[in-house]
Amino acid sequence: MKILKRTLLLLTVSVLAFSCSSDDPATLNINDANITADENQAIEAVLGTVTATGTDGTFAYSIASQSPVGAIAIDAVTGVITVADASTFDFETNPTITATVDVMGNSITETAQVTISLNDMDDLEFLLSSSKVAYTAASDGAWIEITKTEYDNLALKLNEVSKVATEESDYLTDDTLIKANAPTFTLANGNGINIPADSYVFAFRFYSKSDNHAGNKVKVSETDIKTGYSDLGGVLPTVDQGDHFFILKGNNIKITNMGYLAYLFNGDAGYNNNDKRILYSSGDTSSLDSDSPNNSTFLYQGLSTTQKQW
């Protein structure tokens, strides 16, 4: 009788154990990743993590889809999200980056949504190198001298940039460059290379033919190439002879219509005698009274963009 009871007890325990195991299926729980990050991220920078919990063995993470394509990567073991393509972390182009992530257990696959909201940062500051400290310390409306490398980098890497007032083929700074001896003139190249509508001018260059060249200004008009000019930003920094490059801090002046770029040179400017049109007036003025259709090209140039990135 005792043997029979012991046998029944063992059978009961076995049935209970089997019932418990069949009532506890594997589980996999995931959390979506909602991330806020600055634009202009470095490649492989850590952004956040897709997290998963449960009993379905070891989890594996993979990206099923993302927009823009190739923007992020995910660690297959840890679920850590990193920057894969730094160029896509541009607020003006992609204010939000999204992805769908598959999380796979031994028998279960779940899907997590990743949303990365970018903060709008100052792209001008980001693209500067040796001039970054001076730019950061400057007040809005100030012109800061930068290097040629920085100027070229801004022209290349910012969105929707146009070079205005002087085309590259006319911007020659060799020994044959002519020196314009004048006390103070406001001048514009009339070559048709104007500021596109809905643009912001954010950088400038000009060639000086004298040392201690001070009091120069950048001017813009959207009225007419001859009239309506006003100062853009403050006075340019004092420079010596040579080609000089500048960036404007915090420009909020938008050229709504097609615009025109002129400059006030208070000393000796450089120009090439290539029989092109210039318009000019003596002094610091808003109107250009003299029109010379077969004259020269003065060496100054602006960078403008139709997409404000600062």
Question: What is the model's pLDDT at position 19?
Answer: 42
Question: What is the model's pLDDT at position 3?
Answer: 45
Average pLDDT of the chain?
91
Same-domain pairing of 146 and 42: no
Q: Which one-letter amino acid corresponds to residue 274? A: N
Same-domain pairing of 145 and 283: yes
The pTM assigned to this predicted structure is 0.84
The position carrying tokens 């992020």 is 72
Domain count, the chain: 2
Residue 152 lies in a domain: yes
- 3 state SS of 205: strand
Look at residues 90, 119, 148 and tell me which one is the last residue of a structural domain: 119
For the residues 84-92, what does the mean pLDDT come to?
97
CA distance 144 to 55: 60
Question: What is the model's pLDDT at position 6?
Answer: 46
CA distance 300 to 189: 9
Decide if 286 contacts 304 (C-beta within 8 A): no
The position carrying tokens 């808003």 is 286
CA distance 177 to 183: 19
Question: What is the model's pLDDT at position 173?
Answer: 76
CATH of the domain at 33: 2.60.40.60
Same-domain pairing of 84 and 180: no
pLDDT tens-digit series, residues 142-198: 999 999 999 999 999 999 999 999 988 888 776 556 776 667 999 999 999 999 999
Residue 10 lies in a domain: no
CA distance 92 to 121: 10
CA distance 123 to 89: 11
Q: Which two tokens stand for residue 61?
A: 């993470």
Look at residues 68, 94, 119 and tell me which one is the last residue of a structural domain: 119
Q: Which residue has the higher pLDDT, 267 or 55?
A: 55
Question: What is the model's pLDDT at position 1?
Answer: 47
The position carrying tokens 């992609």 is 94
pLDDT over 70 for what percent of the chain?
A: 90
- Does 15 have pLDDT greater than 60? no
Same-domain pairing of 62 and 83: yes
* Segments forming the whole domain that contains residue 281: 123-305
Question: What is the model's pLDDT at position 175?
Answer: 59
Same-domain pairing of 108 and 132: no
CA distance 246 to 79: 44
Alpha helices in the chain (DSSP H): 2-22, 123-127, 132-137, 148-157
Q: Which two tokens stand for residue 191?
A: 């070559």
Same-domain pairing of 43 and 100: yes
Question: What is the model's pLDDT at position 176?
Answer: 58
Total Cβ atoms within 10 A of residue 163: 16
Same-domain pairing of 267 and 170: yes
Q: How many CA within 13 A on the CB side of residue 66?
A: 23
Same-domain pairing of 34 and 135: no
CA angle (310 as vertex; 68, 124 as ends), nearest 5: 90
Same-domain pairing of 157 and 300: yes
Question: What is the model's pLDDT at position 283?
Answer: 95
CA distance 87 to 6: 73
- Does 2 have pLDDT greater than 60? no
Segment among 86-95, 183-192, 226-235, 268-277 with least mean pLDDT = 268-277
